[in-house]
Structure 1
């Protein structure tokens, strides 16, 4: 009896199916299944490509004039002097750009009291140099994602005694601070990654079973460093002076905290490239605009009635995730998400964040990172191949 030959379309399809299976298997090998993503179940079809109107609105820079004025005054040594209430004088910067998300109101940033001592005067040239170089790079350039290995990974490699190379970290864990971390004992899984990134000085002592004990990189916003630099018990080294830190700038004045802390830290303290900051800002604003129009049915230009454009910005967690996207071959995300049964932060009694972030919009971004990274606005123009991402509750 003659064997029936396979139809030609099936023959062509078979190798494609086999290749796709092994590629998918290789991408996620070694990771147990994770919980569902915030923002809904996986999409059956990819979402539509970015809306042109929303892209245009997301690209608008708000508060640029204030920031420029702030930087120019600081570079020329011009601080606003105010009474400290005790007969002395303190100094503050002009802008309210990126208010600390843990402080009520719009207080202006002030120099830590100890920085007025003569022994700190010699930090001012380094402060101005860092601020000037940072601001000179201020332009939108999504290709900065391709430079993150050079800007971040290689300095970390050198610190740990490894030869710097363009090879990515094999696996990374970004550990958020949500109270949902207490629902699972992911500590051992977290510590099994090549690089563990923690956020904003979150405590790990007493929480090892849930959050792990390994820290390879501390990612913070400069408000956190500013507060830490004021306290002798903390002073710049929350995880120890040998743990590298990456910081994004919330106030131009915080470059002084950076200059002082960097002088005593035995590991690199890196400031995120302002081009990277601008990319993250546009991505988050786009997702927030998209969520607003879809949920309210209102035109996107009414978004500003809900969010304060000058203070609205990405969370530290979002930017840490985007940093890991650029320096890691595989990425796991832990401790992102909210629950009515869990504390806002696992290690504090804080009830909620101020309305400076749109977490639901950021969850939609994480969903697309896992499912459809090719449609993420602005990021898709960077030329970066997004690594496999797994989201854990």
Structure 2
């Protein structure tokens, strides 16, 4: 996204959702200055909760914060952040959204596996997936959330190489092995083409990729 100059276009959207407190200061010309909802995972929340001032709101205290938590101590982090910022809005992702994101991740990973023609490639993918439990990324969770909130959806930075997942990095330091980024990228591509299997269950908003 850096160097593309989409900042003003992003800021014209009615709602802007950002992931895991991705930095926008100094990058406003490319990623915009507006933030309506900030979605973070439980580890990011825990990192914030361990700091004296709970710096979970880099975009301002008036921005709604949603946290995906799956461990009991992460619920305690939410309580701590609420106590430090009583006027801020912080919500935990509900189970229904978690189930939806998990279903998408599993369906598209299974489809990718079945589509492989080369037996050795199938063996490699199966070995990779057996090492860890499959889980969805924060990006996929954010897209699933947006599908239920938006009449039209623009995805910035989601049509990148499936191995890189932060716009401010020129090279990804490490991958999270329980995420199948390629299968998630397949899902985003189908959304943009209007052919996602989710459309069998309810109408999906028109979705576009932006380079």
TM-score (norm 2): 0.86
Alignment check: 8 A CA contact 2:21 2:56 kept: no
Q: CA 1:302 to 1:313, structure 2 compared with 1: closer, same or farther past 3 Å? A: same
Cα separation, 2, equivalents of 1:249 and 1:386: 26
CA drift of 1:300 comes to 8.2
Q: Secondary structure at the match of 2:22?
A: coil
Q: 1:256 aligns with which of 76, 90, 105?
A: 76
Which residue is equivalent to 1:278?
99
Whether 1:288 aligns to 2:109 is yes
Q: CA 1:232 to 1:212, structure 2 compared with 1: closer, same or farther past 3 Å? A: same
CA drift of 1:204 comes to 0.7
Q: CA 1:285 to 1:302, structure 2 compared with 1: closer, same or farther past 3 Å? A: farther
Larger Rg, first or second structure (1 or 2): 1
| Larger RCO, structure (CA 8 Å, separation 6 or more) | 1
Q: CA 1:191 to 1:314, structure 2 compared with 1: closer, same or farther past 3 Å? A: same
How many residues are paired up? Answer: 208
Which residue is equivalent to 2:4?
184
CA drift of 1:356 comes to 2.0
Q: 1:236 aligns with which of 40, 56, 73?
A: 56
Cα separation, 2, equivalents of 1:257 and 1:216: 22
Whether 1:194 aligns to 2:9 is no
Q: CA 1:301 to 1:286, structure 2 compared with 1: closer, same or farther past 3 Å? A: farther
Alignment check: 8 A CA contact 1:241 1:267 kept: yes
* Aligned Cα root-mean-square deviation (Å): 2.7
Q: What 5-or-longer segments of structure 1 have no aligned partner?
A: 1-180
Which residue is equivalent to 2:67?
247
Which residue is equivalent to 2:205?
387
Per-residue CA shift, 1:67-104, capped at 9, x if unaligned? xxxxxxxxxxxxxxxxxxxxxxxxxxxxxxxxxxxxxx
CA drift of 1:308 comes to 4.2
**In the TM superposition, what are the counterparts of 1:1-393 in structure 2 within 5 Å?**
181-232=1-52, 234-265=54-85, 266-297=87-118, 304-308=126-130, 311-339=133-161, 345-348=166-169, 350-373=172-195, 375-376=197-198, 380-381=200-201, 384-393=202-211
CA drift of 1:296 comes to 4.7
Cα separation, 2, equivalents of 1:196 and 1:218: 9
TM-score (norm 1): 0.48
Q: What 5-or-longer segments of structure 2 have no aligned partner?
A: none
